[in-house]
Amino acid sequence: MRAIYFEEHGGPEVLKFGDLPDPEPGRGEVLMEVRAASLNHLDLFVRRGMPGFSIEFPHIPGSDASGVVAGLGEDVGGFEAGDRVLLNPSLSCGKCEYCIRGDASLCRTYHIMGETVNGTCCEKIVVPAENVIKIPAHISFEAAAAVPLVFLTAWRMLITRAALQPGEDVLILGAASGVGTACIQIAKRAGARVFAAASSEEKLELCRRLGADVVINYAEEDFVKRIKSETNKKGVDVCVDYIGKDTWVNSLKSLARGGRLVTCGATTGYDPQTDLRHIFFRQLQIIGSTMGSKNDLLAPLQFLFRGEIKAAIDRVMDLEETAEAHRLMESRSVAGKIVLRVGDKN
């Protein structure tokens, strides 16, 4: 099969396009022919190398994919060859107390497709049958591939963890990213007023189209002052911050008394300073969130299938252009998701 892979950590130049052996499904697994894959910032981190994570080379990156069922392992039912499907990229043991109660992302063995195991930037993948979800005919492969990781992450942050309520104010930083565009739409569906902050007018226009009530260019203005102005000095009930060190202090300042800051990442650094007086005097909550469970994906998928939310796709590129796609993401010139065309398009 054709695949994108790398044999050492480094910049986009380490990505290679070539042939690798076809995978074969084992017991309880589905062989999926990939029609489209989408990129996430996780792909950049894995390619560069992450402390504490070891992978075998050659390694295929990618967490999101859609395609068709091409084969079934033993003891797999409910699917037939040709079924149109997407992939839930979350992998866990399925047996521990966290998995049983529906909190798979707390599982001690939890990992993600493309993180420490081979991913989706290739023509064929083998995955557990429980990670395969059928998609209706009116949903394109490109749209389906752009949804899973970012929407399950956004749903878990806002709904499962932060318990966003109708009428609340929510600030989303990095709002034009894949996760950010998902957060905007989920927050609007939840009945919240959405403040979307991004770094360019082009990105802010995307946020407006997705339903943001107020947009803030935080490259040009102090987002804390703007939030205080828009909320009569109160602040927001919920702040979504996966940027990390560069925005952390101001994210806390943007919160109302009793507000919640929810984070799923730290792209600019993981060791910001925190004045604990802000936390206990104002009774703030700091909430961590990582990926999500299958239910955190199934919920937003129903909105997608009904046409009530959509994947924000910046552009569609060919699989062999993956290195250039990584460069575009690193330059921060992407608004939404980059989707890769893979294999037969029918």
The residue type found at 168 is E
**Fold: same for 2-147+311-341 and 151-288:** no
- What is the three-state SS of 42-86? HHHHHHHCCCCCCCCCCECCCCEEEEEEEEECCCCCCCCCCCEEE
CA 305, CA 136: separation in Å to the nearest integer? 7
Cis upstream peptide for 58 (omega within 30°): yes
For residue 53, what pLDDT is reported?
82
pLDDT at 345: 53
Q: What are the mean pLDDT values of the chain's consecutive 10-residue runs (346 residues total)?
A: 97 98 97 98 94 91 98 95 97 94 94 96 97 97 97 97 98 96 98 97 96 96 97 98 93 98 91 91 97 94 94 96 97 94 74
pLDDT (0 to 100) of residue 267 = 85
- What is the structure's pLDDT at 51? 84
State the pLDDT at residue 346.
46
- Whole-number Cα distances in Å, 314 to 90, 120, 147, 256: 24, 19, 13, 33
Angle between helices 294-305 and 148-155 (to 10 degrees): 110
Q: Does domain 2-147+311-341 have CATH number 3.90.180.10?
A: yes
Question: 44-57: string of b/e by CB count within 10 Å (b at 16+)?
Answer: bebbeeeeeeebee
Contacts of 216 (CB under 8 A, 6+ apart): 195, 196, 197, 198, 204, 223, 226, 227
The CATH number given to 151-288 is: 3.40.50.720
With CA atoms as reference, report the closest residue to 311 among 135, 140, 196, 189: 140
Write down the domain spans for the chain. Answer: 2-147+311-341, 151-288
d(CA 51, CA 104) in angstroms, rounded, equals: 23
